Structure 1
Amino acid sequence: MAYSSALHLVRGVKSRLAHSGVQAEALFQQAGLDEGDGLACDALTLSDKLSHLWSLLVEHSGDPLIGLKVSTPHRLGWLGVMGHIMLVSPTVQSTIERCHGHTRVGLVLPGSQRVVPQQRYDFVWCVLLRSLRSAAGRDDAAPVLVEYAFPEPANAELYAQTFGCPVHFGRPGNVMEFADTDLVAALPDYRGGNGVLAGLAHAQPPTITARVQAMVAVMLPKGPPHREDVAAHMMMSERTLQRRLAEEGTSFTTLVDDTRRELARQSLSTGELSLKMLSFQLGFSEPSAFYRACKRWFGMTPSDIVNHAPPRGPASST
């Protein structure tokens, strides 16, 4: 996993905990999730560290429902595209199946040395549902069923209240099931999205556009992504990548710009990163280039967006 993706993931969890009044900085350090070399690790090691964190949080709080409480499934701004990347990162493996008008999303949180605690699944399920609600622009979107591969807890009724549907325990896997009609109604304009949400919207393999966008977003903090590198990761030639994108009505240059714009919009709306840090996270060589891009995208400078108004759609080219 790229360091930048791990950093966004850990900062996102930390932000939610802080928002809920949980002071967990020392627990992050104890789990090896400090924002330094401790995040520059392989995916399984990072996953183990996240599992360790959730075990520490349960022990520290004495609350087995903390995974639900710090991430109640309502819309939340910090998710955005980075949240989708988090869901499809190596720390989360997902499957999507269609059955009799329903879409079943299965999750496996891999680990190497540590057992994954249920609270970590609680948190990720809420992230998924919150992402859906954010994309839909409505807070009442709900699954029809949730299944856990864990024994039934003493307070199982609180799970049904949280997700707004029946929740069953002791099942073969961890699954959230949606009615296809609800997904179509919830995501009418969600085109070319990333990862799990794109799969929910269309219940088919992600498009080349979606795959490139997800890869570009992860590569941006290292500098402007190159088409040949993305093509190599996707095990195809540059010419084939160009042709496939053209068939989907876009181009590599357009996707890089679109991905930068969406990441900028999400980050500027939350204000989590300094403008200088954000410019480098988006692959710009210097902040002035980011400023010029914002003027082109939104008709405003980054400072104006943060101080006065949320970013709107692309500025007119006239």
Structure 2
Amino acid sequence: MSEKDTISMQLVREALAQTCPHGEPDSGLLARAGIAVEQLHLPEARVSAESYARLWRLLARRCNDEFFAMDPRGLRSGSLAFLCRASMAQPTLAAGLETALAFLSLMLEDLQPSLVRQQSLAEIVINEPRDTPRRAFTYFTFWMIVHGVACWLAGRRIPILAIELRCAEPPFCDDYRVMFSQNLQFDRPRTRMILAADGLDAPLRRTAEELQRFLAEAPGNILVRYRDPASLGRRVRNDLLQLDPGHWPDGEALARQLCLSASTLRRRLAEEGQTYQGLKDSVRRELATVWLGEAELAMGEIALRLGFADSSSFYKAFRKWFGCNPGHYRALVQARGARVASTSAADAKVPSDLPAR
């Protein structure tokens, strides 16, 4: 694992919130995880992903709960191993994922997930009691388990088009966006993850030896998507988000803005596993999913905003990025909002056969 893979100390505090309810973190446990207790409350402090993974395992063993006591029933130690073993025995990724979600529904009391396929898209929806939403950390821990296992079953990273959550946006979202998707939507009526469905019918061929390696390295092998927020790649990406794609500088101009030579810019990005073109494509993907959720923007306008010559070019690029039709994605994200608005309006309307008060 790279030295640059780090986790916000805020996520360490979140992990401790349920397991140390009296606000007194176990300094001995933190020391075993390689985390300095004196840095625990420093706003900008970060820890290595390896230390966070070690803390995860220590807390799970201490609580006998691989879900950090965030559900009345929880996931007893060994749940992840059983989930993976049952899922890998299925013929396809879809069947394996449905088995994993069925197991989580059986084990957990409040979070009841299900897989729904919508043409070229799939969504994993969490049904839960209609009371106060859970903490963002609870939802993201759930997604970390589900998405991490799904990627392992598939043998590749499965792109996430969007994640919608019932809770309010927390003040520390950078790690979540790097880990999952830049397209995180909060204060939504339901919590769900939207994926392309093109690979769900792929056969599963995982072996017992591969399972043993995966479990021995978990959850560190799931956390490696985290990157240093102060990296050059993150800075370039954030700068691109502030500009219209039509005004993005070319590589030479970007290097001059950063007071670097073009070769130094390429080398430093390469050291982080990045390229300038890759960063531009990443921002385009993010903007595409966000703008497709805005009903007032026509498909042609989105294409032009992103720098494509026409809707057809945008359509082909979107299918290449996510393996699904942009029209299907737009219909899925907007249909749920329309149904919620319609339901709210109906609930607010006074029935005509009731007397006015």
Give the shorter-chain TM-score range.
0.3 to 0.5
Larger Rg computed on CA atoms: 2
What TM-score, normalized by structure 2, do the two folds share?
Answer: 0.33
What TM-score, normalized by structure 1, do the two folds share?
Answer: 0.36
